[in-house]
Amino acid sequence: MSYLLAFARMVDGMNRRIGLVVMYGVFVLMAILLWSSISKTFFLPTLWTLEMAQFAMVAYYMLGGPYAILTGANVRMDLFYGNWSLRRKSVIDVVTVLFLLFYLGVLLYGALGSTAYSLGYWGDAPIAFFAGLVTGTEEIGRLEQSSTAWRPVIWPIKVIMICGLFLMLLQALSEMIKDIARALGQDIPEPKT
């Protein structure tokens, strides 16, 4: 169990550092939207601002999600849960995090397929495609572009989504490890906010 808790501490530390950096992404989003307002008012409207704001919001949300899980900032229905003992909460959390792990795994697999498509892969084995990219047996095809007037390539934001989902999956595993330790009676300190 000590190795698993060391893994959980490593994941918590990594997601804490990433979250503390990503939280300033809201200022990037605000700057993009401010420029959009200024350009529409005083200059010619720019084509890229709305879609870039959407990309910035996706990056902010996906990379900040693991930090929200770590700090417990996610929304919970506290009808019964708040009155339970720490051990009972931990047992219930172990069960519910299994559903979260399944959900994140399905999302990650879908994101891998979508990213492979955006890199020009038309097959049905996206993991084999990425393995082929690493080994040199696959090549990147025609890149998917947005259907808007700006027409940016889509793969960078999809890669960010994969990274965010992977970090959320790691954080969910970390939370499960900590909940198992709490259910077994070990004292695990609560995360710093």
DSSP state at residue 82: G
* DSSP H or E run through 176: helix 155-183
pLDDT, one tens digit per residue, over 72-111 is 887 777 788 888 888 998 999 999 999 999 999 999 999 9
Q: How confident is the model at residue 192 (pLDDT cuts 50, 70, 90)?
A: low
d(CA 141, CA 6): 41
**Percent over 70 (pLDDT), the chain:** 98
Single out the residue of 158, 151, 56 nearest to residue 116, CA to CA.
Answer: 158
d(CA 169, CA 14): 13
Q: How confident is the model at residue 2 (pLDDT cuts 50, 70, 90)?
A: confident
Question: What pLDDT was estimated at residue 46?
Answer: 85
Question: What pLDDT was estimated at residue 191?
Answer: 62
Q: Which amino acid is at 68?
A: A
3-state helix, strand, coil in the chain (%, to 5): 70, 0, 30
- 142: phi then psi, degrees, rounded to nearest 5: -75, 125
How many other C-beta atoms are found inside a 10 Å radius of the C-beta of residue 97? 21
The pLDDT of residue 182 is above 60: yes
Question: What pLDDT was estimated at residue 78?
Answer: 77
- From first CA to last CA, the distance across the chain in angstroms is 25
The pLDDT of residue 13 is above 70: yes
Report the predicted TM-score, pTM, of the whole model to 2 decimal places: 0.89
Give domain limits for the chain: 2-74+85-183
pLDDT, one tens digit per residue, over 127-179 is 999 999 999 999 999 999 998 888 999 999 999 999 999 999 999 999 999 99
Q: Is 146 helix (H, G, I), strand (E, B) or coil?
A: coil
